[in-house]
Amino acid sequence: MAARRAGIVGTGLIGGSIGLALRARGWHVTGTDHDEGRAARALHLGALDAVGTDHEAEVTFVATPVGAVAGAVRAVLAGGDGVVTDVGSVKAPIVGAVDDPRFVGGHPMAGSEQEGVDGADPELFAGAVWVLTPVAGTDPSAHALVRSVVSSLGAEVLELSPEAHDTLVAVVSHVPHLTAAALMSVAAERAEDHRALLRLAAGGFRDMTRVAAGHPGIWPDICAENREAIVEALGALVASLEELRQRVSAADRDGLLGALERARRARLNLPPRIARAGDVVEVRVPVPDRPGVLAEITTLATELEVNIADLEIAHSAEGASGVVLLLVEADRAERLRGGLVARGYRPAVSPLE
């Protein structure tokens, strides 16, 4: 049996990790980088089988800096018939600029302080959330293919609209990164007068500023592409800090305690990083021949906090209609069914054989 073939454009930390992970699972991986030395290094490290472009690749991962993604995706789409996905940290501008049924936007929420292919790790995605942003125009089989490949790397797939993705990562990723840098700047400024400050920096401060040690090269792009959401979320953070400052200044003990208590409860309620493995049931959803059905079903599942353990599309013998088969946690199946019925679907829930 011939190996399945994948392409990678951009063999940095993420592209290299995808290459290592796919090759460990038997794929044949071909890749390029605009820096030829980096592609050669990826080949040397075993992240690629060959340097170059595989026009027959079943799926190609575009892992360039965010600003270059849309152009690279269009080039790959023009050069072959395969499915294309990307790993950019911002989705709406990219998805809007590509608009092709064979493209599925993606964003693995995984990273490392290391930089470049030398930091690549085939286990980087194990247990990580990998967001996909299918839209109405996305070919369901392209979506299902990317979902299954990404799942096979150990990631937990979560479908979101490109816009929701961008709003949310501004809050949980982009603004925290900028905040770590701001905290570090304030500390560094004070350290000019008091060198001892840096020796006082204990566990909490180190944890809070760790991401600031990452290479900043990717951030101007990210901030440019997700400007609006970042500016808004930074504004909300500044307002929240100003409120705390007022409370400290006014010695408002009760207000302070209340605010910290609410934050504590929210932090304790963060779901565990890896979805619970539990009983799963099958939800069969007959779907009409209408664009966007799979994107709608999967993003609805995300909204309803229903984790999709597996997904398959069974096409009917004739015509374009078919059945979407979802494996979901048993105790969430009824919730998903309710949501689907509300949207006009006729799902059936059944235990696994």
- Lay out the site mask for its own copies across 49-88 (x = CB under 8 A, - = otherwise): ----------------------------------------
CB neighbours of residue 177 within 10 Å: 19
Query: Contact with its own copies (CB under 8 A): which of 34, 44, 245, 346?
Result: 245
Which residues 186-225 are close enough to bind its own copies by CB under 8 A? 186-191, 194-217, 219-220, 223-224
| CA–CA dist 239, 245 (Å, integer) | 10
State the minimum distance, in angstroms, from the CB of residue 60 to its own copies. 25
What residues between 13 and 52 interact with its own copies by CB under 8 A?
Answer: none
Number of residues counted as binding its own copies (CB under 8 A): 98
CA pair distance 15, 26, nearest whole angstrom? 17
The reply on whether position 256 binds its own copies by CB under 8 A is: yes
Is the Cβ of residue 279 or residue 305 nearer to its own copies in the bound state?
A: 305
Kindly state whether residue 260 participates in binding its own copies, applying the rule CB under 8 A: yes
Rounded to whole angstroms, what are the CA distances from 123 to 15, 28, 47, 112? Answer: 13, 18, 13, 12
Give how far Cα 105 sits from Cα of 22, 136, 315, Å: 19, 12, 23
Closest CA to 289 of 266, 268, 273, 313: 313
Interaction of residue 153 with its own copies, rule CB under 8 A = no
Cβ nearer to its own copies, comparing 26 with 217: 217
- How far apart, in whole angstroms, are the C-alpha atoms of residue 49 and residue 269? 44
How near is the Cβ of 348 to its own copies at its closest, in Å?
25
Q: CB-wise, 6 or 131, nearer to its own copies? A: 131
Query: Taking CB under 8 A as the rule, does residue 95 contact its own copies?
Result: no
Kindly state the tokens that stand for 5: 């073939």
Per DSSP, 212 falls in state G
Which region among 16-24, 26-34, 44-52, 241-249 touches its own copies (by CB under 8 A)?
241-249
Among 52, 71, 235, 338, binds its own copies (CB under 8 A): 235
Point out which span in 27-35, 86-94, 230-238, 279-287 binds its own copies (CB under 8 A): 230-238
Phi, psi of 52 (to 5 degrees): 140, -165
Among 40, 74, 79, 41, smallest CA distance to 57 is for 79
Among 58, 179, 300, 313, binds its own copies (CB under 8 A): 179
Distance CA 89, CA 13 (A): 14
Q: Is residue 312 involved in binding its own copies (CB under 8 A)? A: no
Looking at residue 51, its amino acid is V
Site string for its own copies, 119-138 (x = CB under 8 A): ---------xx-x-------
Contact between 227 and its own copies by CB under 8 A: the answer reads yes
Local structure of residue 270 (DSSP, 8 states): S
Q: Could you please report the per-residue DSSP string of 146-181?
A: HHHHHHHTTPEEEE--HHHHHHHHIIIIIHHHHHHH
Closest CB to its own copies among residues 45, 300: 300
Question: Least distance from C-beta 302 to its own copies, angstroms?
Answer: 5
Tell whether residue 267 is a contact of its own copies (CB under 8 A): yes
Distance, in Å, from the CA atom of 55 to the CA atom of 6, rounded to the nearest integer, reads 10
When asked if residue 259 is in the footprint of its own copies (CB under 8 A), the reply is yes
Tell me: does residue 342 bind its own copies (CB under 8 A).
no
Considering beta carbons, is residue 84 or 124 the nearer one to its own copies? 124
Give the CA angle between residues 228, 171, 180 to the nearest 5°.
Answer: 105
Tell me, what DSSP letter sits at residue 55? T
Q: Report the Cα 146 to chain-centroid distance in Å.
A: 13
Output the smallest distance, CB 129 to its own copies, in A.
Answer: 6
The only residue of 24, 50, 136, 263 in contact with its own copies, by rule CB under 8 A: 263
